[in-house]
Copies of this chain bind each other. A is one copy, B any other.
Amino acid sequence: MTETNMAAEAARVAPRDELRHDDDPIVTDAATDVEVAVRLAAASGVDRSSRADRARWLTALADAIEAHRDELVELAGEETHLGAARLSGEVTRTATQLRFFAGVALEGSYVEATLDAPDASLTPPRADLRRILRPIGVVAVFAASNFPFAFSVLGNDTASALAAGCAVVVKAHPGHPRLSRRVAELGRAALAGAGAPASALALVDGFDAGTALVRHPLVSAVGFTGSTRGGRALFDLAAARPAPIPFYGELGSINPVVVTSAAAAADAAGIASGLAGSFTRDGGQYCTKPGLVFVPEGAGFERELATALTEAPSQALLTDGIAAAHDTGSAALVARDDVEFVFAGERIADASTPVIAAAPVVVATSAEAFVAAHEVFLEECFGPLTVLVRYADAASLAAALAVLEGSLTGTIQHAPGEDVAELTVALERVAGRVVFNGWPTGVAIAWAQHHGGSWPASTASVHSSVGATAIRRWLAPIAYQDAPASVLPPELADGNPLGIPRREDGVLISAPH
């Protein structure tokens, strides 16, 4: 059966009771249940809902997780070993994201309504043309381990896809299965309460389900945050389909930081303290963790960093696998001839959990050794590890920055008024966000945010999961030529009855008439 056949068949989808999903949002038999979840999603009618409807749904989802904050934080704590304060903050963040995308949907400029009046005098002549972005179809979302709320079942990918008008099938992360199921239950109830189709959101579980999801003919796009290896495998699956689909992955990330000589001279202690806080935060389990720090030789920075880390606690990592990988990765670096051991925190056994705690680790190498073995140093080591790269002068720093690969962020710690134009150019080449005198962790939710970078930080160069344009990943354009008013989406109607920003005859009109 061809893919289009399947699409046609799903359009005539079998009666609900034949495809029953029951009330259990999590399904574990990949072969049959991905099929059920995707076909129900495709037939859900989410794509025919209004922007106002979807804004209401997203608000209901935000309200639901905040209403169950204590229960969810406790459950998440048990499964992820993250602290209650962090998890409660993440619930707030997730609710904020959901409401943010409700606002993006309501504002309406994301549909890029564009109208051109007919003009027979042109070559070729122009008919009445009206273009809009429309929902792309069912979206598959792969949840991440390190943000059990904000990049999981109701995280950025799900929020932006629902805002766009796409039903979502989430592949649960195995690091927090009970939380995933509970959030999906709450989400489906909240959606139903807000009048949304229950099949707007489904959850599937397991490796095979993930593979089946990416291959499913009725899945139109994929969102993924995670390791370069896992992301590449799924990217390859998506590209190898008979009809390939976009795979929006944000993979790995090493997040280079440059500390200028002037900055180190002015405030080595302050910068060391900031770095210590950023790379050890929540066990260093951030995709934006600064994992590579270029520091001037002999500036005393390493001593300051060791001092700042004395009090840094060990932390039970998300999973035993992550803890083991952090140990192995750190040990392999420490064992290298071209690497110098700088600091390792005391690993405090935590009797309350059976998992291995990880303590902060700092190693150092020279800019020359870094260049020679950059493939090794550019491997992401998830957890509280950072690598200092000592540079002698501007030339040695420039040579080191030239071998960097794509990264979500690049950071410059500089002195006030210092000329950082060249450094900015060097980091712009690879990083999707360049941070000045700050730290890359703590990604704000904002219209101007971007959370991507050159491959592998982004697998698609256009939009990232964070920031308003995340919604564009789930949209495809259509143009109507001389269409009767009765078939046009209301956003394209004469007179702009919905009062959204539009472009008319080439002129962007921001305010309602």
Contact = CB atoms under 8 A, between A and B. Distances in A.
Q: Which of A4, A419, A437, A449 has the most CB of B within 10 A?
A: A4
Given A131-B450, A239-B239, A449-B131, A124 B479 contact: no
Given A123-B93, A438-B482, A447 B501 contact: no
- Contact residue range for chain A? 35 or more
B510 A508 contact: yes
A403 B456 CA distance: 37
A42 to B, nearest CB: 11
Identical copies in the complex: 2
Contacts of A511: 510
B244 A481 contact: no
30 contacts: A5-B403, A11-B429, A12-B402, A92-B123, A107-B508, A112-B469, A124-B442, A125-B444, A129-B448, A129-B449, A130-B448, A220-B461, A239-B239, A421-B486, A421-B487, A424-B483, A431-B478, A432-B479, A434-B481, A435-B482, A436-B483, A438-B481, A448-B479, A448-B503, A449-B479, A450-B477, A450-B478, A458-B476, A463-B477, A467-B479
B129 A456 contact: no
A8 B403 contact: yes
B125 A442 contact: yes
Contacts of A402: 4-5, 7-8, 11-12
A501 B508 CA distance: 8
Contacts of A434: 478-481, 483
Q: Which of A129, A221, A405 has the most CB of B within 10 A?
A: A129
Interface stretch (A114-122, A301-309, A337-345, A381-389): A114-122
Interface of A: 2-5, 7-8, 11-12, 89, 92-93, 96, 103, 107, 109, 112, 114-116, 122-127, 129-131, 134, 136, 220-221, 235-236, 239-240, 243-246, 374-375, 402-406, 419-421, 424, 428-438, 442-450, 452, 454-456, 458-464, 467-469, 472, 475-484, 486-487, 501, 503, 505-511
A509 B510 contact: yes
A330 to B, nearest CB: 24
A463 B8 CA distance: 25
Nearest to A3: B405
A443 B129 CA distance: 11
Contacts of A239: 235-236, 239-240, 244
A93 B122 CA distance: 9
3 interchain residue pairs of minimum CB distance: A8-B402, A239-B239, A510-B510
A301 B37 CA distance: 44
Nearest to A414: B484
A124 B469 CA distance: 19
A45 to B, nearest CB: 12
B455 A476 contact: no
